[in-house]
A and B are shown apart, each in its own frame.
Chain A
Amino acid sequence: NSKVIQTPRYLVKGQGQKAKMRCIPEKGHPVVFWYQQNKNNEFKFLINFQNQEVLQQIDMTEKRFSAECPSNSPCSLEIQSSEAGDSALYLCASSRQNNQAPLFGEGTRLSVL
């Protein structure tokens, strides 16, 4: 069983609504990634953190998403105003250190109607 816990498993939103998903990384893993996996199974990197600090994020994430990894609370990724093209599987992953394969959660499947 995956030790990266993502909630909710499924999320349905209307266009323009906020969509928020959460991730509890594996214990002892300070590095957290968020990826979007589309219906063609392609991965798009969104953002990564080391502890509470953002390491890197793409332009889309900076403009339309808000994400954080506060200490002692789940990490979160929120789309401020959902668009149909945001429908995808959102995968959170964590790792203990740089250059270690991240462990993936089971994902949040977002449908924007």
Chain B
Amino acid sequence: GEQVEQLPSILRVQEGSSASINCSYEDSASNYFPWYKQEPGENPKLIIDIRSNMERKQIQELIVLLDKKAKRFSLHITDTQPGDSAMYFCAAMGGSNNRIFFGDGTQLVVKP
């Protein structure tokens, strides 16, 4: 079944505007939520993460929010630039056997 749902699948924004990607998870034992950015032909790279003892974390233009009660978390990119164009994946960890479950990805396109 779908462990982590990620929406939207494609997101087109104008340069300078913000972009938001939303994820939800099923396993209430999940307690760690990393986000990866993957550019064409490259491997996924960790850009920001949040643990379940936090509700909000910010690194420069990246903000992640976590609502444990609703089992939702989100990534917000403020002041997007063309270099932010890539695939973004959310993930959830913390269940048994150290599994990490990925969302299906969001293709972000930042138009100049």
Contacts and interface: CB of A to CB of B under 8 A. Distances in A.
Contacts of B34: 101
A99 B31 contact: yes
A42 B97 CA distance: 21
Interface residues of B, number: 25
B45 interface: yes
Nearest to B97: A56
A99 B93 contact: yes
Nearest to B38: A41
Nearest to A57: B97
A8 to B, nearest CB: 15
Given A41-B87, A41-B104, A31 B43 contact: no
B93 to A, nearest CB: 6
B89 A48 contact: no
B42 interface: yes
Given A91-B43, A99-B31, A48 B98 contact: yes
Given A98-B98, A99-B31, A101-B34, A107 B43 contact: yes
Interface residues of A, number: 24
Contacts of A104: 36, 43-45
Contacts of A91: 43-44
Given A42-B105, A99-B93, A2 B43 contact: yes
Q: A35, A99, A102, A105 — which one has the most chain B CB atoms within 10 A of its CB?
A: A99
Contact of B104 (A42, A50, A98, A105): A42
Contacts of A102: 100
Interface of B: 31-32, 34, 36, 38, 42-46, 49, 51, 87, 89, 91, 93-94, 97-102, 104-105
21 contacts: A2-B43, A41-B38, A41-B87, A42-B102, A43-B89, A43-B102, A48-B99, A56-B99, A91-B44, A98-B93, A99-B32, A99-B51, A99-B94, A101-B34, A101-B46, A101-B49, A101-B93, A102-B100, A105-B43, A106-B42, A106-B43
Give 6 nearest A-B pairs by CB, closest first. Answer: A101-B34, A43-B102, A56-B97, A104-B43, A99-B32, A55-B97
